[in-house]
């Protein structure tokens, strides 16, 4: 028993050595993460990397300027699509009922219109609607960064969009 232990101590297997190094890596990683002021947040913000979005993001400030200008069409893509608490003048067009929703407002939205799509917060589900718009030939499609949450937080106007037109 003692002999075995001694042999193992003197000749660790390559895997044992690798595991020791993995331990060292984790230890150094955790210590540097605790100590360094520029540490990354443990969870990456998908929005920050905005990788899988089929359309570019537009900041709340830019979107508000566009809203004041009145040239852009705002699209509410929230699946629950409550008619309350939306951006005034927005059309409700959701991924699940895209064709029907778009048909209902066909005379107000043209492929050349600049569109700003928004959801509650994350832009990821909004991307599905952006893809559908692009498939219909819409070329100027953007997604509101931070969604309605960020819009509200920035003091953007919020109202009932039912029946309203831009």
Residue among 31 and 104 whose Cβ is closer to other proteins: 31
- Considering the complex, what minimum distance in angstroms separates the CB of residue 36 from other proteins? 8
At 131 the three-state DSSP class reads helix
Residue among 23 and 157 whose Cβ is closer to other proteins: 23
**Distance, CA of 38 to CA of 52 (rounded, Å):** 26
Residue among 59 and 122 whose Cβ is closer to other proteins: 122
How would you list the strands of the sheet with 73-76, edge to edge? 57-58, 141-144, 115-118, 73-76, 91-92
CB 136 within 8 A of CB 111: yes
Residue among 24 and 104 whose Cβ is closer to other proteins: 24
Give, in order, the Cα–Cα distances in Å from 91 to each of 77, 79, 161: 8, 13, 7
- Considering the complex, what minimum distance in angstroms separates the CB of residue 69 from other proteins? 32
CB 89 within 8 A of CB 46: no
Q: State the burial class of residue 26 (Cβ atoms within 10 Å of its Cβ: 0-12, 13-18, 19+).
A: exposed
> Using CB under 8 A as the criterion, which residues of the chain lie in contact with other proteins when the complex forms?
10, 12, 14-22, 24-26, 28-29, 32-33, 36, 38-44, 46, 49, 51-52
- Considering the complex, what minimum distance in angstroms separates the CB of residue 91 from other proteins? 30
- Considering the complex, what minimum distance in angstroms separates the CB of residue 124 from other proteins? 10
């Amino acid at each position: 028993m003692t002999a075995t232990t001694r042999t193992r101590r003197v000749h660790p297997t390559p895997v044992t050595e690798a595991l020791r190094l993995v331990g060292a890596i984790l230890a150094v990683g955790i210590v540097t993460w605790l100590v360094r002021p520029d540490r990354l947040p443990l969870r990456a913000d998908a929005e920050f990397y905005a990788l899988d979005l089929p359309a570019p993001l537009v900041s709340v400030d830019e979107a508000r300027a566009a809203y004041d200008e009145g040239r852009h069409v705002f699209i509410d893509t929230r699946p629950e699509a409550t008619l309350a608490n939306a951006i005034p003048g927005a059309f409700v067009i959701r991924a699940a009922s895209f064709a029907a929703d778009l048909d209902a407002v066909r005379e107000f939205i043209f492929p050349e219109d600049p569109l700003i799509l928004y959801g509650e917060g994350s832009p990821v589900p909004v991307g599905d609607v952006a893809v559908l718009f692009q498939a219909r030939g819409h070329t100027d499609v953007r997604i509101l960064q931070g969604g309605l949450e960020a819009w509200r937080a920035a003091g953007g106007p919020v109202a009932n969009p039912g029946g309203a037109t831009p």
